[in-house]
């Protein structure tokens, strides 16, 4: 088991551009989560999937953000028309549904919007 | 709202024991998790308390008291590599494993 992986690790983009991040969870985990973390803060929940179904979205997730998990395996997070306030570390995590407090995080994608 | 409070910084010496406290105000509280995060790294799962009492995992122990809305992480035999940020995180009943994180406690271990 190679753990949770994320790609890319770093992304620099200009304001107004669209970006897409990918997350590959631990293979036997049926839950996948996206969080955002800024410097000096704890991770903030964005959304989560159970298998391919997106079951909850945070109010933090504006309509510029969309996430998919098309076959219940990997997931993508897209941000359209990026703003400077979107600059953050985007973390993906996965877990088994019955062990929801035990989440395994990927290394994150650091987004910088210039 | 939902919030977790923990000290922002703690300093201790190598070999000592340190306790990081966490108080929470969350409706529908389900359980309390602890995560470690080194600078530039991802959060790493340490411990979970679904029931009141103490959970022990090697040098780390975690405690939960639902009646006091309080938990703590206890680190024993501190090592330099334990210098990191520690987060408590609450999971909420019927909200599918979404974690609400505290602001984190930065632990500095001195020689």
Q: In this predicted structure, what is the pLDDT of residue A69?
A: 95
DSSP secondary-structure letter at B82? G
- What's the mean pLDDT in A19-48? 95
CB B37 within 8 A of CB B43: yes
CB A97 within 8 A of CB B97: yes
pLDDT over 90 at B41, yes or no: yes
Cβ-defined contact of A45 to B96 (cutoff 8 Å): no
Among B62, B57, B83, B82, residue whose Cα is nearest residue B72: B62
**Token pair for B13:** 């010496």
A-chain CB neighbours of B100 within 8 Å are 45
Provide the number of CB pairs (under 8 Å) joining chain A to chain B: 70
Whole-number Å distance between alpha carbons of A91 and B43:
9
Helix (H), strand (E) at residue A8? none
Q: Over the stretch A60-83, which tens digit does the pLDDT of each residue have?
A: 788 999 999 988 899 999 999 999
Of the candidates A33, A42, A106, which has its C-beta nearest B87's C-beta?
Answer: A42
DSSP secondary-structure letter at A59? T
- What's the mean pLDDT in A13-25? 98
**Coil, strand or helix: which one is A16?**
coil
Least confident of A57-61, B3-7, B25-29, B104-108: A57-61
B-chain CB neighbours of A104 within 8 Å are 45
Q: What is the DSSP secondary-structure string of chain A? A: ----EEE-SEEEE-TT--EEEEEE--TT--EEEEEEE-TTS--EEEEEEETTEEEEE-TT--TTEEEE-TTSS-EEEEE-S--GGG-EEEEEEEE-GGGTT--EE---EEEEE-
Q: In this predicted structure, what is the pLDDT of residue B23?
A: 98
Percent of chain A with pLDDT over 90: 82
Of the candidates B32, B43, B97, which has its C-beta nearest A95's C-beta?
Answer: B97
- What's the mean pLDDT in B50-78? 96
The contact set of B with A (CB < 8 A) is 30-33, 35, 41-45, 48, 50, 87, 89, 91, 95-104
Q: How many CB atoms lie within 10 A of CB B87?
A: 27
pLDDT over 90 at A98, yes or no: no
Q: Over the stretch A35-53, which tens digit does the pLDDT of each residue have?
A: 999 999 999 999 999 999 9
Cβ-defined contact of B97 to A101 (cutoff 8 Å): yes
Cβ-defined contact of B104 to A91 (cutoff 8 Å): no
pLDDT over 90 at B73, yes or no: yes
Among chain A residues, CA nearest to B106: A40
- What's the mean pLDDT in B30-58? 95
Q: Over the stretch B76-97, which tens digit does the pLDDT of each residue have?
A: 999 999 999 999 999 988 776 7
pLDDT over 70 at B72, yes or no: yes
Among B90, B104, B108, B98, residue whose Cα is nearest residue B37: B104
């Amino acid at each position: 088991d190679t753990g949770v992986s994320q790609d890319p690790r770093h992304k620099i983009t200009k304001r107004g551009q669209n970006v897409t991040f990918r997350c590959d969870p631990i293979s036997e985990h049926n839950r996948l989560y996206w969080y955002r973390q800024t410097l000096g803060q704890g991770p903030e929940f964005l959304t989560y999937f159970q298998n391919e179904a997106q079951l909850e979205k945070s109010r933090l997730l504006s309509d510029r953000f969309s996430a998919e998990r098309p076959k219940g395996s990997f997931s993508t997070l897209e941000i359209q028309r990026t703003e400077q306030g979107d600059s953050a570390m985007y973390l993906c995590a996965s877990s088994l549904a019955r062990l929801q407090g035990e989440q395994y995080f990927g290394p994150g994608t650091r987004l910088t919007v210039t | 709202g939902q919030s977790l409070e923990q000290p922002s910084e703690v300093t201790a010496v190598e070999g000592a024991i340190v306790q990081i406290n966490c108080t929470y105000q969350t409706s529908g509280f389900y359980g309390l998790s602890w995560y470690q995060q080194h600078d530039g790294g991802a959060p790493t799962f340490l411990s979970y308390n679904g029931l009141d009492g103490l959970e022990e995992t090697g040098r780390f122990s975690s405690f939960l008291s639902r009646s006091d809305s309080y938990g703590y992480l206890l680190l024993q035999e501190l090592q330099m590599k334990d210098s990191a940020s520690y987060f408590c995180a609450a999971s909420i009943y019927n909200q599918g494993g979404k974690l609400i994180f505290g602001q984190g406690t930065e632990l500095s271990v001195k020689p």
